[in-house]
Every structure is written in C-alpha cells, then in structure tokens.
Amino acid sequence: MKKTMIVLFASLFLPFISFAQRTVEITPFGGYVFPGTMQAEGGDIRFIGNGQYGGIVSIAVSPSVDVDLIYNRSDTKAQINLPGYRYNEIPLSINYIHVGFTKNFRINTIVSPFVGYNLGGCMFYPKVDNTYETWFFSMGLDAGAKIYFAKHFGLRLQAQAMMPIQGTGFTMFVGTGGASGGVSVYSTLVQFGFTGGLIFRLGHVQ
C-alpha cells in the first residue's frame, strides 16, 4: 500500500518538473487532527483524534497563486457503532491525495498569509485481516501563514478541514420557464486539524 501511495504522489509531481524556472516549495509537515464522526446506515463511525503527517509540493504559477500537490496521512482507530458489525474498534490509516490552489497575501518578504482549496481522493485503509481499503472523492480547505526566516527556508503553519464526500447528486428541471440543473455533494465527516512544517524553497526564488 505504501508503494502505491508513493507512485501515485510521484505521478502527480512529474508533470510539474518543467516549472524549473519557477519557485517550488517542498514542505514536509506534522500535526494533529481532531476526532470526527461519519454517519452510516443504522449507526455511525467515530474516528479518534491522532497525529497526522505528510508533505506539500507548491509550484508558483504567479506571484500570488500556487498549485499544490498534497499527501496527508493519519493513523487512528475507528469506533464502529453499527448493528452486527464484527469489530467494535479497528486501527486504520486515512490517506488524502489532493491537488489544489493556494492564494498568498504577501505582506512583505517574511510573512505571507494564505488560503487554499484542494480536491482529490481519500483512502481508508483498515489494518485488520479480511478487510479492504475504501476510496472516496474528497476536498479540503486550509488557511494559515508562511514565515520565511531565510531566502530558501521558512515555516508553514495552517489550520485545515478535510472532507470525504459520501454522496453526490444531480438534478435537472425543464419547464415553460426554461431549463436548470445542479450538482450537490454531502459529507458527514469533516476532519479539522492543525499542521506545521519546514519550507524548502527551490528554483527561481524572488
């Protein structure tokens, strides 16, 4: 499973190698994710709060906008509250692989607050026999600040919300007044957390 995650993350990064003349930030991070609950038919699943870690590769596409490749993992336990379920509590990892955008608000050369939005996939990987991983479409939001204490080094501090999407819907209406349509998604699990990591800046640094 770990090899698969490395290959997937690398395949996302390779198309951006051509951005050698742009600023590239590589940020390994660690932090904490708070407990969360996912509603299920006949009950719910509670995820215990635990540490999280991963990495972000940010490629500057303009002075204020970055494209982000994100891998985020937390190793936790799920408390199963469903009738007839074999396990009451199982260890598992929750893995997010996302692509997104960050909007930077550069105050000066040292401090840069930011907000970000990202989309991708989320894999729940149980660590017990006779179980299988489950994939969800997922999205995330984050906000924080980058603090640069040298030209090629800095610190990224952020709060985040990661959301596996449990369902989607599509609606369409046609009548005398015209046609309309819409797409809806919903998630009963929102994982809030905080992370911090060292920024390593490569390429053309302004």
| Residue 78 pLDDT exceeds 80 | yes
Output the pLDDT for position 90: 83
The residues spanned by each domain of the chain are 2-14+23-203
Q: Which of 22-26, 134-138, 170-174 has the lowest mean pLDDT?
A: 170-174
Strands (E), the chain: 23-33, 36-40, 43-47, 50-60, 65-81, 89-104, 111-126, 134-150, 153-165, 167-175, 178-186, 191-203
Q: 13 near 101, Cβ under 8 Å?
A: no
Residue 39 — pLDDT band, cuts 50, 70, 90?
Answer: confident
Tell me which fold the domain 2-14+23-203 belongs to.
Answer: Porin (2.40.160)
